[in-house]
Amino acid sequence: MKLKKRKFLRGFTRFRLMLTLGLAVLLPAAALIYVNFSQLRAIERDKGIEAIFNREFQDVLAITEKKINKKAYTMAEEARELFPSPDTDTQEKEKRLDLILAQKPWLSHAFLYDEKGLVFRSQPGLMGDKYFREEHDHMTESYRLWLGKEGKMQMAGIRKRPKGISFSGGQVKRESGDTYLAGAMFVLPQTSPDRVVLGGVAFEGCYLKGILFQDILDEMVSQKSTDQGGNRLAMMVYPADMEMGRELKPLAVSAGWGEGKPEVYRKFDDVFRGLALGIKFQGTSVEAIGRNWVHQSFLILACLSLLIVGGLVLTKHVVSKEMALARLKSDFVSNVSHELRTPLALIRLYAETLELRRITTPEKKQEYYRIIRKESERLTALINNILDFSRIEAGRKEYEFRETNIAELVQNTLDSYRYQIEQQGFAFAESIDPDIPAVRVDREAIARALVNLVNNALKYSTDEKFLGVKLYRENGSVKLEVVDHGIGITRREQSKIFEKFYRTGDPLVHNTKGSGLGLSLVRHITQAHGGDIAVESTPGKGSKFTLSLPLASAQQTNDPASSGTSPS
């Protein structure tokens, strides 16, 4: 009934622990992993990284366009400042316009219109090109007609534009191939608003790269690339309808464009209408970066998940171990109390009987005295074990190594047990090699180790009662063997029996008194002597414990490590 209750309590504690681990650690960890995983999947599905880059690209393009526009306005203003007054005569106007064209060779045309008519001049150096000549003739004619008709209206419109300048643009033909022409039409600031006076210049596409686009593109690319770190950007200015299949080369390309199309583009919508600005990464694509990022994140998540799972398994392992130790400790307390109570009860019973003088025969008396002595010896042995154990645990156990005839030590220890062994009906075989050289050992400790081994052999034997003790020399060490034909130990438990408090699951062990400290003491003692302890056992057949002490190191007389405090 009691056992059932204890089992139930243990099961409950275990369940509570698992519940705590599950609720406090496993559940949040799993939720974290799941949420991260689904977020990554969502980013992968919605191309989230690509979207972020595209937005960033759009911003860069907008800033670039602004810079280009600003510079274009400045250039148009610079040209306007050189314009003659509409009141000068035609010849003077022509001269002044020619001067502007000479000063600014990137301008293809310059014109001035007022009520008296149109003066339209073109870059003389370009007049050799037949298409350019045709353009000049055509524009002169069409502007005269157009401005004559709509000049006033145009002027009203341009006045409302920023800085009184209006840009337009488009593709034009040249003998060397198609190019882009950007026109700026403006009002002259010094003229009165009642008059119709319009000036204008046209920028020749092939020069725009050198005077305007290139510097801004390169500046933006290097600035943004250092801002962002990692991947470098590349930009270009190209005719907006280039993709429609027309054979027109990009007007300007920043360093590192390489091959390929822009990832994101923006059509100029004020100054250079008809042109577009494109952007991409140097040597990689947004898609590849997004893919890499997602892959990397999945990899990191997988590693973190593995770490979390590993941590959980480790935690469970450690906690279970601690729980097992706590259980062993509580068993230990009840076992020790039991072990103390039995000899005490016996001593008291026999002493009382003697006190009451109920025993008359001297033999009987003698037997009672012997029992009292034996039981108090058992008590002392148990208490010594516990004291030794607590010293070892506290790191205070000290050994006193002395030159010892180990054969004699073993013999004497066994002698004081011989009667008890035979009394219990054990067949006792001893084989002690008397020629073993003297070794430095702590006598009391070695005797205690032997007593523990012998006691175990006696305790854990049932039908076949045999005890064998052998002391011999082998390969530079002294071996002390304690053999029994008792219940034996399973292979799985053989490694555990040397741990403190551990007792095997065999039912006989549970019905036998014990603290689970004996073998852990034996191991500590042997290790302090530089030796080790091994067990060979077959369940149901018996066990053999072999304690070996190295002869060489045990013989070193002035080894400082061989005396004083031992490792614990």
Nearer to ligand ADP, 266 or 500 (CB): 500
Nearer to ligand ADP, 154 or 461 (CB): 461
User: Distance between CA 93 and CA 145 in Å, rounded?
Assistant: 20
Identify which of 183, 198, 184 has the alpha carbon closest to the alpha carbon of residue 119.
198
Within 10 A of 357 (CB to CB), how many other CB atoms are there? 8
247: its two tokens: 């054979």
CB-nearer residue toward ligand ADP: 252 or 451: 451
Q: State the minimum distance, in angstroms, from the CB of residue 24 to ligand ADP.
A: 36
β-pair type (117-122, 165-172): unpaired
The continuous run of DSSP H or E covering 423 comes out as helix 406-423
Q: Which of 154, 166, 543, 548 binds ligand ADP (CB under 6 A)?
A: 543
Query: Which of 520, 513, 525, 528 is CA-nearest to residue 499?
Result: 520
Beta bridge mates, 549: 478
Task: Estimate the crossing angle of helix 2-20 against helix 286-355, to 10 degrees.
Answer: 160
Give the span between the Cα atoms of 499 and 37, in whole angstroms: 44
Using CB under 6 A as the binding rule, whether residue 533 contacts ligand ADP is answered as no
526 binds ligand ADP per the rule CB under 6 A:
no
Tokens matching residue 563 = 């005396």
In sequence order, which residues have a C-beta less than 8 Å from that of residue 222 and are 6 or more positions away? none
Q: Give the integer Cα–Cα distance in Å for 358 and 403.
A: 49
C-beta closer to ligand ADP: residue 457 or 533: 457
497 binds ligand ADP (CB under 6 A): yes
Backbone angles phi, psi at 201, to 5 degrees: -135, 155
- 504 is a site residue for ligand ADP (CB under 6 A): yes
Name the residue type at position 141: E
Q: Which is nearer to ligand ADP, 354 or 535 (CB)?
A: 535
Query: Residue 179 or residue 413: which is nearer to ligand ADP going by CB?
Result: 413
Question: Cβ of residue 338: shortest distance to ligand ADP, in angstroms?
Answer: 11
Amino acid at 357: R
Any contact of residue 503 with ligand ADP (CB under 6 A)?
yes
The one among 183, 343, 518, 531 contacting ligand ADP by CB under 6 A: 518
Give all strands of the β-sheet with 233-239 in edge-to-edge order: 252-253, 233-239, 275-281, 264-267
For residue 215 the two structure tokens come to: 């510097």
- Cα-flanking dihedrals φ and ψ of residue 85, to 5°? -75, 145
| 187 to 13, 136, 156, 474: CA distances (angstroms) | 92, 22, 9, 117
Nearest to ligand ADP of 17, 379 (CB atom)? 379
Angle 324-329-335 from CA coordinates, rounded to 5°: 125
Q: Which is nearer to ligand ADP, 520 or 566 (CB)?
A: 520
Q: Total binding residues for ligand ADP by CB under 6 A? A: 22
* Residue among 75 and 517 whose Cβ is closer to ligand ADP: 517
Query: Segment near ligand ADP (CB under 6 A), from 41-49, 289-297, 320-328, 517-525?
Result: 517-525
Closest distance to ligand ADP from the beta carbon of 518 (Å):
3
Cα 30 to Cα 21: distance, rounded to the nearest angstrom? 12
Q: How far is the CB of 313 from ligand ADP (least distance, A)?
A: 28
Q: Closest approach of Cβ 529 to ligand ADP, in Å?
A: 18
489 binds ligand ADP (CB under 6 A): yes
Give, in order, the Cα–Cα distances in Å from 393 to each of 370, 383, 448, 468, 550. 34, 15, 17, 32, 25
* Distance between CA atoms of residues 155 and 195, nearest Å: 9
- Min. distance of Cβ 508 from ligand ADP in angstroms? 8
Of 484, 549, 551, 566, the one binding ligand ADP by CB under 6 A: 484
487 forms part of the interface with ligand ADP (CB under 6 A): yes
Residue 548 makes contact with ligand ADP by CB under 6 A: no
Find the binding residues for ligand ADP in span 167-226 (CB under 6 A): none
Closest CA to 198 of 121, 304, 47, 86: 86
Using CB under 6 A as the binding rule, whether residue 525 contacts ligand ADP is answered as no
Q: What are phi and psi of 403, to 5 degrees?
A: -60, 120
Q: Does 517 interact with ligand ADP (rule: CB under 6 A)?
A: yes
Does 166 sit near ligand ADP (CB under 6 A)?
no
Q: What is the per-residue binding string for ligand ADP in 421-460, x denoting contact by CB under 6 A?
A: -------------------------------x---xx--x
**Which one, 434 or 507, has the nearer CB to ligand ADP?**
507
Bridge partners for 186 per DSSP: 165, 199
Q: Specify the residue, 179 or 515, whose C-beta has the smaller distance to ligand ADP.
A: 515
Q: Is 516 in the site for ligand ADP (CB under 6 A)?
A: yes
Per CB under 6 A, the list member of 158, 354, 509, 534 interacting with ligand ADP is 509
- 188 Rama sector, left if φ>0, alpha if ψ -120 to 50, beta otherwise: beta
Binding segment (CB under 6 A) for ligand ADP, from list 164-172, 416-424, 440-448, 497-505: 497-505
Residue 392 touching ligand ADP (CB under 6 A): no
CB of 458 to ligand ADP, least distance (A): 9
Residue ranges in contact with ligand ADP by CB under 6 A: 452, 456-457, 460, 484, 486-489, 497, 502-504, 509, 514-520, 543
